[in-house]
Structure 1
Amino acid sequence: MENHILTNEFPEFESKIKALKLNDDNFKKMYVNYEEVNALIQHYEEGEVNHTTDDHLTDLRKKRVHLKDNLYTYLRQ
């Protein structure tokens, strides 16, 4: 499984991500939301017993992509 941690997704913004997490409440909120969704997806994908439906997992993945797009836009500002 791929690791979708934000600094792996955008290594060119690693220092900016660290700074924004500490100094920008809007970014921090988006970042925490992204990491929570990502952790939940990883939990479902790595578990021996999947306690969710394929539709729910697909919805979580779509939400992660949406959050990642928003974070990328924010990072490029």
Structure 2
Amino acid sequence: MIIERHSLVKELPEFKEKIHELKMSDKHFARLFEDYHDIDNAVIRIEEGIENTSDDYLESLKKQRLQLKDQLYSILKNA
């Protein structure tokens, strides 16, 4: 199985510069970005078998990642 990272820049390449700008200038965006990155790393570790957990917990992490991505996208779109 190929494990794919879901970095925000990879997911939203058209906002690459705006992501960098907001990470530097908007503390709320930077915190959401950090949370998104942390959750993505946790999902990867579980999918690679480095950490073991229940399927329900993995699904909850994926849902959190998606919610954060939606919030970040909204901020980027309105910036």
Shared fold, TM over 0.5? yes
Report the Cα distance in structure 2 between the residues aligned to 1:18 and 1:74, rounded to whole angstroms.
13
Name the residue aligned to 1:38: 40
What is the TM-score when the length of structure 1 is the normalising length? 0.93
Shift of 1:15: 0.4
Instruction: Write the mapping of 1:17-56 to structure 2, written as runs, cut at 5 A.
Output: 17-47=19-49, 50-56=51-57
What is the SS of the residue equivalent to 2:5? coil
Name the residue aligned to 1:74: 75
- Structure 1 unaligned residues grouped into runs of 5+: none
Aligned residues: 76
What is the TM-score when the length of structure 2 is the normalising length? 0.91
Q: Are 2:11 and 1:9 equivalent residues in the alignment? A: yes
Please report the RMSD computed on the Cα atoms of aligned residues, expressed in angstroms: 1.0
Name the residue aligned to 1:64: 65
4+ long deviations beyond 6 Å = none
Shift of 1:51: 1.3
Shift of 1:3: 1.7
Shift of 1:47: 1.9
